[in-house]
Every structure is written in structure tokens, then in C-alpha cells.
Amino acid sequence: MTITHLKRALKFRFYPTDAQAAELSRTFGCVRLVYNKALEAWTTHQARVTYNTTSAMLTAWKKSKELAFLCEVSCVPLQQALRHLQEAFSNFWQKRARYPRFKSKKRSRDSAEYTRSAFRYRDGRLTLAKMAEPLDIVWSRPLPEGQSPSTVTVSRDAVGRWFVSMLCDDPTVQPLPVLDTAVDIDAGITSLVTLSTGEKISNPKHERRDRERLAKAQRELARKAKGSNNREKARCEVARVHARIADRRRDFLHKLTTRLVHENQVVVIEDLTVRSLLKNRKLARAISDASWSELRTMLEYKCAWYGRELITVDRWFPSSKLCSACGTLCDNMSLNVRQWECDCGAVHDRDVNAARNILAAGLAVAACGDGVRPQRSTPGGRSSVKQEVVPPQRSRAAAQPRG
């Protein structure tokens, strides 16, 4: 019997030689060109275009005089670009994503995907197609013992750093021992999250800490003439500050979510619409810095990895205005009220009280089953609860983080 393990993408930084960098740059450009031409074909044709159709188009493009340079790079990344486009359209037709957009040379991430037929991995050395030497990879951690990558994705960020992501089976990721603990996570700005246990985890505010440095870099960029080498240097400095902020934020969220998943069997969160919240001009910058969407994404796939249960409570549940002691619902409560006293005499911290209410609602939904909407409100209140559970049996491939 074949044992299937969780597929996990491990990302490493590498330093290419001049010849390798030139080859990869050509590949990135060809991938972008093929993707855009195929997207144009999908858009202009009346009938639905399939992957086989665009693959035949790619063969014809290579034979043409204008696009003969497509034969100079590996054909696998070009074919993978067509498959990615087909997947993008499938997501669009099933209303899971927007209509695919054309790749921009300046705004899109440079990347190319290689399958097994286009690379060789032996003794910890990775050699891509059309290259004579292996990549100089900084192995920050070893690959799972006895495993080799099934797919390799090479990318370059806006700063000019090179990364390689290897997708392989990881037998080390197994469900953790079952616990009898549960926790709710109430996302915030001053405190990044408030737990139902009363613990508040402060928001590191990575963007605010580097705001002056970022503003200075952006002012320098604005002063440079367009198209000049100095402007390119200034653009790289701005990208470097953004990358520093994103790296530190991602590292903090990884440590936080790993700790929460390891310590609790059930994790309850609120179903926030971050896209709508970002329309608030006064709070948009702080909400973006908190990165609530990335926090939820990490919790989802880590709960699926380690056999935990993730429950989301409907965004309309009045968690802040509901007394966790007696169930009384306040009529109005502005955002500047951080502590309040109920008629029953209980004094609540706004965030801690909300976390406890969300935890109780999530556990009630999990106990009652799907579709149950318990009501705990006074007249005029909205307190419906929606269940959205990420079970341990969820497809592990779908739970993979990108990048």
C-alpha cells in the first residue's frame, strides 16, 4: 500500500552565477510573454480555449521568426505557465477568483516552475535545465530525509534576491496528540490578538517601526529622473525596506500561529472581511500592518497539518457588546470604549470579553453541529453564529502555503 505524505514547499535563498542569472532572466521574460499571449487568446476567442489549444499555439510561436527565441529556454516553465493560466480561469469560472490579469514586467513577481523532467537533484545539489552548474543554495534547513523535490519554483523579488522553492513530501508533519484545550483569537490593532485566556499579545507594528526609513527612501525615489540608473537604485532601496518589514512580520506570525496550534486542540476566530475594513482611511494602514488575512491563512493550513480544528464565527456576532457573564447585550458601544461595566456588576475588558464570547459561540457551534445558529441577545441585537470548520481531514495539498 502506498503511503501518501503531506506535500510541503520549502523555500531557500540562492546566489546564481552571472550565466545562471542571465539564463533565469531570459526564462522569466519568456514565461511572462507566453502567459500574456495565451491570456490574450483566451480573451479574444469566442469559444472557450483549452490548455491543449494554447499548447499548440506555443508550438506555432516557437516556429515563427519573431518568437524563435522561445526555443532558447527550457520548455517546461513555458508549459507550466499555460497550466497556471488554465487553473486561473477555472478559479474564475467557479467564482473563487477574479478574471486573470496580464503579467507586468515591473509589478509582477518573476518566477518559473520546473517539473522533474527539467531539473536534477542529487546529493543535495540542484541543477536546472539549460544550466551546466548546480545552484549555490543556502541550506537553512535540510530537506526531509530520503525525499527529493517533485517541483522546483525559482523566483526573484523586487530587491533582486533569488529564491528556490522545493515541493516535496514531508513525513515529519504528523497530527499532534489530542488536547482538551480551546482558545479564541480576537484580532486587534493595539494588541495584535487577545486570547480568551486573558493574554494579550502586543502588535509589533513592523511598518510603523520602519516608517521614517521608508518615507525617506520614497522621497529619494520621487526625486530621481525616470529611466535613470539612480532611480533604479532608489527603487531597490524602497523595495528593500518593504521586504524587511514583510520578512519580520511573516516570521512573527509563523511563531505565533505555531504556538497557538501546538497548545490548543480547537482554535476559534472571527470571520472578518479585511477587504471591507481596509476602506476605512483612518485604520487601513494599521490593519494592513497587522496582517489579519495572513494570520488566518497560517492558522488554516497549520490546523490541517497537525490535526487541529479551526472554527470561524460570523462577523455579525456582537462579541464586544455581549456580557460574557450574564448574556446582556448593550445597545451601542463606540470603538474608544475599551472597558465597560454591565448591569450585572461585571467589569469587562473589551477585547478579553469579546474573545470569551467568540470562544463560547464557536464551541456551541461545534457541539450542536453544522447549521445551528444559537441566539443569545436582547431585542434589537444581531448575534447569529456561522460555522466554518477546517477539519483534520482537509486536503493537505490545498492547505499548502505559497511561496
Reply yes or no on whether the pLDDT at 14 is more than 80: yes
Sheet holding 200-202, edge to edge: 200-202, 191-195, 182-187, 266-270, 309-313, 389-390
More confident residue, 385 or 310: 310
Neighbours of 177 (CB within 10 A): 7
Q: 75-93 vs 51-63: helix axis angle to the nearest 10?
A: 150
Model confidence at 389: pLDDT above 60: no
Of the candidates 110, 184, 309, 351, the residue annotated as catalytic is 351
More confident residue, 272 or 394: 272
Mean pLDDT for the stretch of residues 281-310: 89
* pLDDT of 3 strictly over 90: no
- 12 pLDDT higher than 60: yes
How much is the pLDDT for 30? 96
Active-site option among 110, 184, 186, 309: 186
Whether pTM > 0.95 for this model: the answer is no
pLDDT score for 15 = 97
* Residue 378 scores a pLDDT above 50: no
Residues 6+ apart with CB under 8 A from 341: 347, 348
- Higher local confidence (pLDDT), 333 or 145: 145
**The predicted structure's pLDDT at residue 269:** 84
Position with higher pLDDT, 335 vs 267: 267
- Look at residue 182 and tell me whether its pLDDT is greater than 70: yes
Contact, 9 vs 399, CB < 8 A? no
Going from the C-alpha of 153 to that of each of 109, 158, 167, 207, 302, the distances in angstroms are: 12, 16, 8, 29, 22
Residue ranges and CATH numbers for the domains of the chain are: 6-170 (no CATH), 174-204+246-396 (3.30.420)
The reported pLDDT for the residue numbered 367 is: 60
Q: Which residues, 6+ apart, have CB-to-CB distance to 243 below 8 Å?
A: 157, 158, 159, 161
The C-alpha R_g of the chain, in whole angstroms, comes to: 25
Mean pLDDT over the full length of the chain: 83
Does the annotation count 351 as an active-site position?
A: yes
Residue 372 clears pLDDT 70, i.e. is over it: no
The pLDDT assigned to 135 comes to 96
Section 214-230 average pLDDT: 94
Averaged pLDDT, 312-334: 69
* Residue 134, C-alpha cell as written in the block: 548546480
d(C-alpha 378, C-alpha 174), whole Å: 45
pLDDT at residue 145 in the model:
87
| pLDDT over threshold 80, residue 244 | yes
Q: Does residue 390 have a pLDDT over 60?
A: no
Is residue 35 within 8 A of residue 200, CB to CB? The reply is no
How far from 366 is each of 45, 309, 394, CA to CA, in Å? 48, 9, 16
The reported pLDDT for the residue numbered 153 is 97
pLDDT for residue 115 is more than 80? yes
Where residue 167 falls among pLDDT bands split at 50, 70, 90?
Answer: very high
- Which residue did the predictor score with more confidence, 219 or 319? 219
Question: What pLDDT does 232 receive?
Answer: 92
Confidence band of 258 (pLDDT split at 50, 70, 90): very high
Residues 264, 301, 243, CA angle at the centre, nearest 5°?
A: 110
Kindly state the average pLDDT of the residues 52-81.
94
With a CB cutoff of 8 Å and minimum separation 6, the contacts of 358 are 184, 186, 196, 268, 269, 270, 313, 317, 319
Report the alpha-carbon distance of residue 55 to residue 159 in Å, rounded: 33
- Residue for cell digits 499555460? 82
Q: Span 273-294, mean pLDDT?
A: 84
**Residue 257 pLDDT more than 80?**
yes
- C-alpha to C-alpha distance for 318 and 331, rounded to whole angstroms: 10
The amino acid sitting at 140 is S
> Is position 271 annotated as part of the catalytic site?
no
Higher pLDDT, 125 or 370: 125
**60 or 146, higher pLDDT:** 60
Mean pLDDT of 384-401: 42
Return the minimum-mean-pLDDT range out of 13-27, 137-151, 251-265, 323-337: 323-337
| Cβ-contact 203, 187 below 8 angstroms | no
pLDDT attached to residue 333:
67
For residue 46, the model assigns a pLDDT of 60
Active-site residue, selected from the candidate residues 270, 289, 300, 309? 270
Is residue 396 over pLDDT 60?
no
Question: In the prediction, which pLDDT does 386 show?
Answer: 43
pLDDT at 379 over 80: no
Decide which of 5 and 267 is more confident. 267
- Does 270 participate in catalysis according to the annotation? yes
